[in-house]
């Protein structure tokens, strides 16, 4: 008869940790959608590229100050320069296309299409790095793309090719995910956050300047209102807190437990769109969103196996 070595209360402690982890994850991911909702409120007041540039400039300054306080001058390092530059490039591209998309279409539509990013990451990794991809993942990706087409149906009729901006953002986030994987372990979490923001900010400033020089009326940059500045500063802070909550969630439980919580972003985005912007998703769009979510959940379950 074997001796029972399980400590009393260990199961309860594990359940409490999982519960706390899931709560932290829900708060973190919900904050991201709340930040997107705030950004959408600046539509028509300043160009999307300029809003993105200001948001990440303020974010980089804030993260730099925190890094200086926490780790001192020696904390500012630049490990694996090519990988860090790739991270900043992909983040800048994803941000400018996503911010532009939420200025043009319902927040829930752009957010749901963003969830193509994990599926795209799996497919691109299989093509570029010869990683094995199960037939189920290929099928899930194709089905999710059908879901994207369903969600984009009304937007494409109204916006034309601009409706594909959130899909471009998903490709950018996919590139960021792959770059993050290659940067893992080369520095502290705080340093990694600072570097990606510090590289993305000047790129976004360049994009905004090129947009201004293009002469397109909607891309002309004047002085931002105090409201725009406050929104950008608020989102810069809330995004840092959301990342901290997600990190705490994975520390308390596990990545496998936390990952499905990401879909709360769609629920919050729909709620914000309905309450503040009167964007009521139709049943067809909701069905397309459901297809994307189902494909993503399959990907998570397959990856866990």
How do residues 91-147 score in pLDDT, each as one tens digit?
A: 999 999 999 999 988 898 888 888 888 778 878 877 877 767 778 778 888 888 888
Q: How confident is the model at residue 87 (pLDDT cuts 50, 70, 90)?
A: very high
How many domains does the chain fold into?
1
Residues 6+ apart with CB under 8 A from 209: 221
pLDDT (0 to 100) of residue 209: 96
- Whether 250 has a pLDDT exceeding 80, the answer reads no
- Domain extent at residue 133: 21-304
* Residue 3 covered by a domain: no
Distance CA 253, CA 19 (A): 8
Burial pattern 194-228, b for ≥16 Cβ within 10 A else e, equals bbbbbbbbebbbebbeebbeeeeeebeeeebeeeb
pLDDT (0 to 100) of residue 212: 95
Residues 6+ apart with CB under 8 A from 287: 150
Neighbouring CB atoms inside 10 A of 72's CB total: 9
* Residue 5 covered by a domain: no
* Residue 40 covered by a domain: yes
DSSP codes of every residue in 137-204: HHHHHHHHHHHHHHHHHHHHHHHGGGGGHHHHHHHHHHHHHHHHHHHTTSS-HHHHHHHHHHHHHHHH
Cα separations in angstroms, 252 against 20, 248, 284: 7, 6, 38
- Whether 201 has a pLDDT exceeding 80, the answer reads yes
* Residue 15 covered by a domain: no
* Residue 97 covered by a domain: yes
DSSP 215: T
* Residue 260 covered by a domain: yes
């Amino acid at each position: 008869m074997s001796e029972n070595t399980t400590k009393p209360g260990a199961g309860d402690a594990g359940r409490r940790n999982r519960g706390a982890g899931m709560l932290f994850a829900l708060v973190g991911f919900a904050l991201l959608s709340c930040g997107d909702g705030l950004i959408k409120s600046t539509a028509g007041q300043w160009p999307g590229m300029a809003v993105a540039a200001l948001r990440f400039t303020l974010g980089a300054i804030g993260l730099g100050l925190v890094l200086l306080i926490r780790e001192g001058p020696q904390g500012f390092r630049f490990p694996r320069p090519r990988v860090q530059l790739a991270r900043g490039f992909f983040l800048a591209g994803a941000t400018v296309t996503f911010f532009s998309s939420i200025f043009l279409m319902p927040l829930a539509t752009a957010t749901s299409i963003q969830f193509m990013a994990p599926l795209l990451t799996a497919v691109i990794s299989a093509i570029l790095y010869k990683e094995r991809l199960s037939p189920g993942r290929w099928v899930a990706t194709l089905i999710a793309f059908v879901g994207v087409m369903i969600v984009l149906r009304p937007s494409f009729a109204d916006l034309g090719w601009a409706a594909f901006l959130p899909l471009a953002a998903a490709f950018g986030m996919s590139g960021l995910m792959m770059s993050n994987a290659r940067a893992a372990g080369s520095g502290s979490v705080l340093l990694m956050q600072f570097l990606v923001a510090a590289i993305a900010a000047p790129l976004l400033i360049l994009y905004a300047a090129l947009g201004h020089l293009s002469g397109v009326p909607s891309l002309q940059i004047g002085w931002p209102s105090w409201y725009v500045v406050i929104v950008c500063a608020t989102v810069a802070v809330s995004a840092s807190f959301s990342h901290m909550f997600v990190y705490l969630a994975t520390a308390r439980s596990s990545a496998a437990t936390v990952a499905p919580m990401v879909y709360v972003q769609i629920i919050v985005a729909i709620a914000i769109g309905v309450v503040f912007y009167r964007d009521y998703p139709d049943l067809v769009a909701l069905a397309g969103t459901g297809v994307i979510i189902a494909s993503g959940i399959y990907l998570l379950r397959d990856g866990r196996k």
